[in-house]
Amino acid sequence: MSNSASAVIPAENTAHVALVIGASSHIGLATMTLLHAQSPDLQIVAISRNSAAVPDAAHITSLESDYSDASLRDIVAQLADCRGRIVRVLICLGVLHNATLRPEKRLEDLQAGQMLEYLRINAVLPALWLSALLPVLAGPLPCSVAVLSARVGSIADNRKGGWYSYRAAKAALNMLLQTSAIEYGRRAPNVTLLAYHPGTVDTPLSAPFHRSVPEGALFTAAHTAQCLLDVMAQPATPGDARFVDYAGETVPW
């Protein structure tokens, strides 16, 4: 782990850089493995609340963050030397259930504190990272930023209901992404933004809900990483975020 205020990757190392935020995510970890397999020279900066969950490897610089404003500022300062070299950013932050959060089944389950916590983790924190990173992402190289969203955040696609706060938080995330894409298009037109629906992936996040997943529709994290990197490599239009699923199909907002 490296958490000094100095540069995370020395300036003399001219390799391209990928940032993975929320790097303990099972999808994030699988994506880091595939990024390294595809581009062994790529340097990966892995940011997580729990750096012990990030593999110890020469191509990975692990930074611990509590996602406070001060921590974001500190990390962005450490990334200053990476400006102009960051080609991929993956923001994994999201929660569906934990020790205190349960996705609501009916209106009577709604509680203000729980709703705000879903919004904080799924929407507010990713947006704060997009805000903080703009100065280090602006540059000459095309940079693809993917944020893990979910189809249940699609208002047009909502036919089953339930999961009020998770759905609302992902819908809010999508709006924050499209609004950020418009501003990035003006201020950092090398950067394109993607709201990504990975499908149902075999991770702790989806584990309680696997019984309702149709045969063949539960993806491994490794498969998800492949689909995600394929979509991130597709051409995209600055100033206009995409909402795309694992098959590369557009999801209606």
CA angle 49, 229, 11 (to 5 degrees): 60
State phi, psi for 119 to the nearest 5 degrees: -65, -40
Report residue 222 as tokens. Answer: 């490794």
Rg (CA), the chain: 17
Strand partners, 244: 196, 250
Q: Which is nearer to ligand NAP, 95 or 175 (CB)?
A: 95
Q: Could you give the string, one character per residue 95-134, with x where binding to ligand NAP holds by CB under 6 A and - elsewhere?
A: x-------------------------x---x---------
Beta bridge partners of 194: 146, 242
Contact track, ligand NAP, 57-76, x by CB under 6 A = ----------x---------
Q: Is 79 in the site for ligand NAP (CB under 6 A)?
A: no
Q: Does 205 interact with ligand NAP (rule: CB under 6 A)?
A: yes
User: Residue number with the shortest CB distance to ligand NAP?
Assistant: 94
For position 153 contacting ligand NAP by CB under 6 A, the verdict is: no
Query: Coil, helix or strand for 104?
Result: coil
Segment (H or E) for 21: strand 17-21
Interface pick for ligand NAP out of 162, 204, 208, 248 (rule CB under 6 A)? 204
Q: What gap in Å lies between CA 45 and CA 61, rounded to an integer?
A: 5
| Residues 10-29, mask of contacts with ligand NAP (x by CB under 6 A) | ------------xxxxxxx-
What is the distance between the alpha carbons of residues 176 and 18, in angstroms, rounded to a whole number? 22
Task: Give the nearer residue to ligand NAP in terms of CB position, either 150 or 188.
Answer: 150
- Cα–Cα distance for residue pair 144/191, rounded to 1 Å: 6
Residue 237 is a binding residue for ligand NAP (CB under 6 A): no
User: Among 35, 145, 171, 201, which residue interacts with ligand NAP (rule: CB under 6 A)?
Assistant: 201
Q: Distance (Å, rounded) from C-alpha 162 to C-alpha 185?
A: 35
Nearer to ligand NAP, 93 or 137 (CB): 93
Q: Which residues bind ligand NAP (CB under 6 A)?
A: 22-28, 48-50, 67, 92-95, 121, 125, 148, 150, 198, 200-201, 203-206
